[in-house]
Amino acid sequence: MTAPLRILAINGSERDGNTADVLRYAAGVAARRGVEFETVDLRSVRMDRCGPCGDCNTRTVPCAVEDGVADVVARMIEADGIVFAAPVHGFGTASLMQTFIERAGVGHLRFDRPLTNKVAGVVSVARRYSAGEVWAQLTVNALLNRMIVVGSGFPATVHALHRGDALKDDEGLTNVSRLVDRMIDMMELLAEHRRLTGQDGPIHTGEANERVGLALNAAEFEDTPEPALSAQARP
């Protein structure tokens, strides 16, 4: 029997408020499609900020900081789709989500991009301002991890100020519904592709990490001659 498809949502809010309400709404949409939907509340995860070690650009193994980030990353790898959801704080992404994408991205995900071809969706929640900027930042982060970002028409941005306001934003929730449905459509297509071909998709193994100068790419540059300086650039 085929295992049910699963979506993992990463909730970057510090409280059980509007962002959590939106994700509970999204879980209902997924349930109607027979898809499991689980939420990781970063406020409940023991997560340290990036520290002063400063070896991120030279190390070739995951971050040595022992906290809950590695477990969350492992759960992301097991999921078929991932929703990144965060409120706007101070005209930017809430600090919990910012810390997570830094720690997870630099410390765990960039070595072999294990989220490649996972289906991604992004939700931002705001009183009114900067919802688009936060949505764009999280979308670019998903693209960096080589995920498949689906279009939902208008972005899934939800307007809310006081607790409970998110569930009153009919247009925002409509876009969340479209996002979840589109994610599931793509997840089902990918599952059918795997069933028919036995392959996960266009994953380019052995590809150098895109971060030039990272130790993983060192051999690639060993025999590369230095580019000649133009007359204008010479000291």
Cα 122 from Cα 85, distance rounded (Å) = 6
pLDDT(217) > 70: no
Cα-to-chain-centroid distance, residue 185: 19
Residues forming a β-bridge with 37: 7
In this prediction, residues 216-227 reach a mean pLDDT of 48
All domains of the chain in start order, with CATH? 6-202 (3.40.50.360)
pLDDT(230) > 50: no
Exposure of 87 by Cβ count < 10 A (0-12 exposed, 13-18 middle, 19+ buried)? buried
More confident of the two residues 219 and 136: 136
Predicted confidence at residue 56, as pLDDT, reads 75
Angle at 114 between CA 135 and CA 53, to 5 degrees: 80
User: Is 0.85 surpassed by the pTM of this model?
Assistant: yes
Structure tokens of 231? 């007359």
Structure tokens of 193? 């592709």
